[in-house]
Amino acid sequence: MSEDIFTTGSGNIFVDLGFSEEEAAELTIKSCLFTILQKAINKALETNTQAEVAERMGVDQPIISKIMNDRMSGFSVERIANYLLRLHYDICLEAHPAPVERPGRVVPTKENLAAA
């Protein structure tokens, strides 16, 4: 019987995958906003077609499909934020001093962690 080996993660999947701290911070922000965008589109699709939602966002329907199929590449944080604004969402950002014993980091909300 083989022995399983487990490694404890750093708490940031992007760092664990080998991204720098700066890249990991940006990817964490991007993935949080992307998850919110997917939820916003799902909500809009309750009463609209994908084509109608796409028109509201100022994109073609295949972009909606790309987003809903978890294809985050090709979308910047700014672009995702603009889509949320076009869907009539407020975007709230907060920043707090980190404890002195560690450097600052991007911390996803509990809601974003649950959706992942």
Query: Is 60:54 a contact under the CB 8 Å cutoff?
Result: yes
For the record, the structure tokens of 87 come out as 């869907």
Whose tokens are 């998850």? That residue is 35
Helix (H), strand (E) at residue 1: none
From first to last of its 116 residues, the chain has per-residue pLDDT tens of 567 788 788 778 888 888 888 898 899 999 999 999 999 999 999 999 999 999 999 999 999 999 999 999 999 999 999 999 999 999 988 888 989 998 888 887 766 555 54
